[in-house]
Structure 1
Amino acid sequence: MSNYTTIQKDFYRESGKMLSSPEIWAKCINPNLHFIYILRKCQQYRKKSFLGAFWRLVLRHHQIKYGFQIYPETEIGEGFYLGHWGALVINPKAKIGRNCNIAQGVTIAQANRGKNEGVPVIGDEVWIGPNAVLVGKISIGNNVLIAPNAYVNFDVPANSVVIGNPATISSNTNATLGYINNKI
């Protein structure tokens, strides 16, 4: 799968097959996929002055249009999937691993003071449910499910389910089974 582009790998998560450029464009009718396409183009051309400025302008327009506040500086692994569109905030310094799903209403934020001053680092194969909040210099392990409305301001080990506010952790080796499909 190494010969495929990051965009193809992101779109694979939705369809379960590698798509050609025309097939990708056809899928861009979906706001989530359209935004991911623009974000990845912006990341691809970030260092090139004219193309970088063009894609940044396009991205800014679609951030406002769709309600996604995700910046090209954010490190996001391949196989990124946005479940629904609207009201999503991710700090540009956050790091997100491969095959991660993020639902609507999620906030991944920086803490500006205290013992967890900094931004979250999220592992591979993490499913983050609607309206969950992850804040501070925390580490989320691989294969973690963060339930809807959870507030997480502490490290979460791999193979875990996080539920509630205040959040509690349960160990589960199949935490994301059935939640993260079409892994790359």
Structure 2
Amino acid sequence: MNLLQLILSDYSKHKKYGGHFLGIVFFTQGFWAVFQYRLAHFCYCRIKWQPFRLLFLMLFLLWQKIIEITTGISIPASAKIGHSFYIGHFGGIIINANVIIGNDCNISQGVTIGVGGRGEKRGTPILGDKVYVGANAVVSGNVNIGYEVLIGACSLVNQSIPDCSVVLGVPAVIISQKGSKGYI
């Protein structure tokens, strides 16, 4: 997908949850953060000529910090996030620079997706498509989160999770095989 298609898919996902154009563009902090990320990631991946790359990356880093201070949402330009990404609520969201997030994912407030673990488990997560991450959940370490996984609120995920699972707890355990259908 090109940049415009990615931004439109994110906008459509926000609109699906009951927003309208003015509300989404001017009052939805999650959309602001994702929009800023899309532009910064485009620059990070596509601009190769060093003088321009450095200039644009510095400008986008400054813009990212303004968005981070304003919204409480930190998404570095080097993270890899698929289309139709939705951040439902304001604040406290930290995404590591090396994280990979699939298509059509939802993230609630207070979520941390980042580096963790020791030895072989040290690293950053890879989230599959249609993953829902509940409020104040933490996903850390070199783990793979499967397709259509629902991570419950206040959970700590530090091990890989198979497709269509519902996980909950600290550390998270599989409580169901119903997946995220209905949450995405």
TM-score by length of 2: 0.85
| Greater relative contact order (Cα < 8 A, sep 6+) | 1
The number of residue pairs the alignment matches comes to 174
Which residue of structure 1 lines up, in the alignment, with residue 91 of structure 2?
Answer: 86
Where structure 1 has 5 or more consecutive residues not aligned to the other structure, the ranges are 18-22
Contact 1:11 1:24 in 2 (8 A): no
What does 1:85-164 align with in structure 2 at a 5 Å threshold? Answer: 85-111=90-116, 113-164=118-169
Residues 56-95 of structure 1 mapped to structure 2, 5 A cutoff: 56-95=61-100
| Superposed displacement of residue 61, structure 1 | 1.1
Q: Does residue 175 of structure 1 match 2:173?
A: no
Indicate the SS of the match to 2:64: helix
Measured in 2, the distance between the counterparts of 1:106 and 1:85 equals 11
For 1:14-53, what aligned pairs fall within 5 Å after superposition?
14-16=14-16, 23=21, 27-46=25-44, 47=47, 48-49=52-53, 50-53=55-58
Unaligned runs of 5+ in 2: none
Report SS of the residue matched to 2:119: coil
RMSD: 2.3
C-alpha deviations, 1:17-61, integer Å up to 9, x for none? 9xxxxx589623211111111111111222253444322221121
- Percent sequence identity is 33
